[in-house]
Amino acid sequence: MGRIRVGISGWSYPGWRGDFYPRGLPHRRELEYAAERMATVEINGSFYSLQRPSSYASWREQTPEDFVFAVKGGRFITHLKKLRGVETALANFFASGVLALGPKLGPVLWQLPENLPFDAGRIDDFLRQLPRTTAEAAALAAEHDDKVAEDRALVTAEEDRPLRHALEFRSPTFCVPEAYALLRQHRVACVVADTAGRFPRVVEDTADFRYVRLHGDQELYTSGYGPGALEEWADRCRAWARTEDVYVYFDNDARGHAPHDAVALADRLT
């Protein structure tokens, strides 16, 4: 049996204050508050810019012992470079402090833009470069350039542990057997993305875990999940967990539904 972890994509949203977060709760305690109510969180600040080892270490300290973070790979790699010539960019990403999460480091998410079509060679080259253990990630991090200053780089791992990766594509050109076969070959999870029909929703088992992102089933990023929809997702999670770990992240944050939906789904799975 695998373990099901349910959480949210990011945790610092002003609109959640006075709603999910109690009025008066200091902003610095929001992660701690969320982590008391769910088992995982997706770090999405790493998508927009390189973070610092001190930030990752602080997030680790604010969460329970068995908590797990997913980390979203940088958009410089996925959206600007579009996976081409990213050797140094990958080194910078892993040198920026990801390994400071230690045993709380879960899957790394790579979200591709809608305008990036499937190209077998490009995807294969990229997936081959991804480190599969924290020791490999540390060795890659040592190749960083001056975008990560030496006094801010973390190029060591506390222990050597497996490192998982998940890929979320948004172009329908990925919905072909060749793409799924590549993901299986590299043991990268195909993200199950619920996007109110905006992007492909593919349920392909390509790794030893499932990675689910719930962006809203009626309106992208905006709509909440009703009891019926939550029960359907709970059933899917239970079925997947018979053989593999499951990570679920609610990203319908625009109107504050995400944390409430995450808690409601987790309650159904206890």
pLDDT at 18: 96
Tell me if residue 150 falls in helix, strand or coil: helix
C-alpha span between 43 and 180 (Å, rounded): 26
At residue 100, φ and ψ (nearest 5 deg) are -70, -15
Find the length of the chain: 270
**pLDDT given at position 199:** 97
Q: What is the pLDDT of residue 188?
A: 98
Q: Low-confidence residues of the chain, pLDDT below 50?
A: none
Q: What is the pTM of this model?
A: 0.97
The domains of the chain, with CATH numbers, are: 4-269 (3.20.20.410)
For 20-43, how does the pLDDT look when each residue is reduced to its tens digit (9 = 90+)?
999 999 999 999 999 999 999 999
Query: Quick one: which of 56, 70, 188 has its CA closest to 129?
Result: 188
Query: How many CB atoms are located within 10 Å of the residue 139 CB?
Result: 16
pLDDT at 36: 98
